[in-house]
């Protein structure tokens, strides 16, 4: 009943355009992916810009391949994501739609994508990153909230539930590991939606951690307050980045600190009754998004570029 997952790289992402897709071209990658995990999350392949590249065209190839791989390896899948401000196709962001059209577009997308994989997705990140760090709804950069108002969030959950009544439906965000303004906003919103009978099943923390900012020591307490609302909780995108020394190689002390963060995150989840899913955002530095997105930082996953197991890998194994 406990799932240990990873993001599956590929489908076109932060890696250079002509970089071979690890999922289809790297045998070692597929072997580790199939062996070490019982849950997988498409890192990009179910995002709007990949799965719905034109208004009247969906591209399910990469997402299908992951779901099929997962089934062959008796893994579950976390679907990611349906309502987000980022990685939306141009036709959507630049389009000139009436409110009614936009609402129909979202409804059709959710019905089509969730419906296609109905019964085969354990958890869906229905709404991703809807609050800013001050705990304010993203009324500017999130097209759905900006154009249609906050009520669209509840609708997204209702439509997803109609399309796949078995899938557990989640709110997902970064920077909500601790009790803070942003996680407080989710705490208030989920209570409100539950009172209204909106089918919200879970609250998940991405956990993109950095040794620059220290470990969120109240992670367990924070997850527990959502657990107490009757929600499932999950860790969905754990990685632990660090400032790399000039030679690019983390010191032994850095590796130890990283292992400690990984272990404490897993322990926090294990200590919470309904924290049933723990996912790392990739398992090898070879394909990690971190060096591309965070200047000077790296080595954030549990294996080196050549799949050497780091102390963090062993720390997770010992904790499980
Ligand atoms: C990242 C991917 O890892 C990159 O490949 C992509 O270029 C950008 O998005 N929060 C999320 C994830 O919910 O979807 C993001 O994934 C990381 C932050």
Q: Which of 44, 79, 88, 239 to mutate to test the pocket of ligand 1 (most atoms within 8 A of CB)?
A: 44
Q: Which atom of ligand 1 is nearest to the CA of 80?
A: 14
| Interatomic CA distance for residues 236 and 205, integer angstroms | 6
DSSP codes joined into one string, 202-226? EEEE--EEETTT---TTHHHHHHHH
pLDDT tens digits, one per residue of 36-63: 999 999 999 999 999 999 999 999 999 9
Q: What is the domain range of residue 264?
A: 3-319
pLDDT tens digits, one per residue of 88-141: 999 999 999 999 999 999 999 999 999 999 999 999 999 999 999 999 999 999
Q: Which atom of ligand 1 is nearest to the CA of 282?
A: 3
**Cβ-based neighbour number of residue 79 at 10 Å:** 25
Determine which helix (DSSP H) or strand (DSSP E) holds 4, and give its type and residue range: strand 3-8
pLDDT tens digits, one per residue of 196-247: 999 999 999 999 999 999 999 999 999 999 999 999 999 999 999 999 999 9
The number of folded domains in the chain is 1
| Ligand 1 pocket check for 36: Cβ under 6 Å | no
Residue whose C-alpha is closest to residue 85's, from 19, 22, 152, 20: 152
Structure tokens at 38: 């019982």
What global pTM score does this model have? 0.98
| Ligand 1 pocket check for 171: Cβ under 6 Å | no
Beta pairing class for 168-173 and 3-8: unpaired
Q: Catalytic positions, please?
A: 129, 237
Determine which helix (DSSP H) or strand (DSSP E) holds 315, and give its type and residue range: helix 311-319
Q: Whose C-alpha lies nearest to ligand 1, atom 15?
A: 43
Q: Which atom of ligand 1 is nearest to the CA of 281?
A: 3
pLDDT of residue 18: 63
| Interatomic CA distance for residues 148 and 189, integer angstroms | 17
* pLDDT of 65 strictly over 80: yes
pLDDT of residue 98: 98
Task: Count Cα atoms within 13 angstroms, Cβ side, for 284.
Answer: 19
Please answer whether residues 200 and 157 qualify as being in contact, where contact means their C-beta atoms are separated by less than 8 angstroms: yes
| Interatomic CA distance for residues 105 and 158, integer angstroms | 15
26: CATH:
3.20.20.80
* pLDDT of 16 strictly over 90: no
| Interface pTM, i.e. ipTM | 0.99
Interval between CA 197 and ligand 1 midpoint (Å): 30
| Ligand 1 pocket check for 206: Cβ under 6 Å | yes
* pLDDT of 12 strictly over 80: no
* pLDDT of 13 strictly over 90: no
| Ligand 1 pocket check for 49: Cβ under 6 Å | no
pLDDT of residue 294: 95
Residue whose C-alpha is closest to residue 208's, from 175, 171, 172: 175
Interval between CA 289 and ligand 1 midpoint (Å): 7
């Amino acid at each position: 009943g406990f799932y240990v997952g990873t993001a599956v790289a590929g489908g076109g992402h932060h890696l250079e355009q002509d970089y071979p897709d690890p999922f289809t071209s790297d045998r070692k990658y597929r072997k580790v992916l199939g062996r070490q995990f019982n849950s997988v999350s498409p890192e990009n392949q179910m995002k709007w810009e990949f799965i719905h590249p034109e208004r009247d065209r969906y591209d399910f190839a990469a997402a299908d391949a992951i779901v099929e791989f997962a089934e062959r390896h008796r893994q579950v899948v976390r679907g990611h994501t349906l309502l987000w401000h980022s990685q939306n196709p141009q036709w959507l962001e630049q389009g000139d739609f009436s409110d009614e059209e936009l609402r129909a577009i979202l409804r059709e997308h959710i019905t089509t994508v969730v419906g296609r994989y109905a019964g085969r997705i354990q958890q869906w990140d229905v709404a991703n990153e809807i609050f800013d760090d001050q705990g304010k709804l993203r009324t500017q950069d999130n097209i759905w909230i900006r154009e249609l108002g906050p009520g669209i969030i509840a609708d997204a959950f209702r439509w997803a539930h109609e399309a796949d009544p078995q899938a557990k439906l989640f709110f997902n965000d970064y920077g909500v590991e601790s009790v803070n303004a942003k996680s407080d906003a989710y705490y208030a919103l989920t209570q409100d939606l539950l009172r209204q009978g909106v089918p919200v099943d879970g609250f998940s923390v991405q956990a993109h951690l950095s040794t620059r900012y220290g470990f969120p020591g109240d992670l367990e307490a924070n997850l527990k307050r959502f657990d107490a609302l009757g929600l499932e909780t999950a860790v969905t995108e754990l990685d632990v980045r660090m400032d790399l020394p000039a030679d690019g190689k983390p010191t032994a002390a850095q590796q130890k600190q990283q292992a400690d963060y990984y272990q404490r995150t897993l322990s926090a989840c294990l200590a919470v009754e309904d924290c049933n899913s723990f996912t790392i955002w990739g398992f090898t530095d070879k394909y990690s998004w971190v060096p591309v997105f965070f200047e000077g930082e790296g080595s954030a996953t549990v294996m080196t570029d050549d799949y050497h197991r780091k102390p963090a890998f062993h720390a997770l194994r010992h904790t499980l």
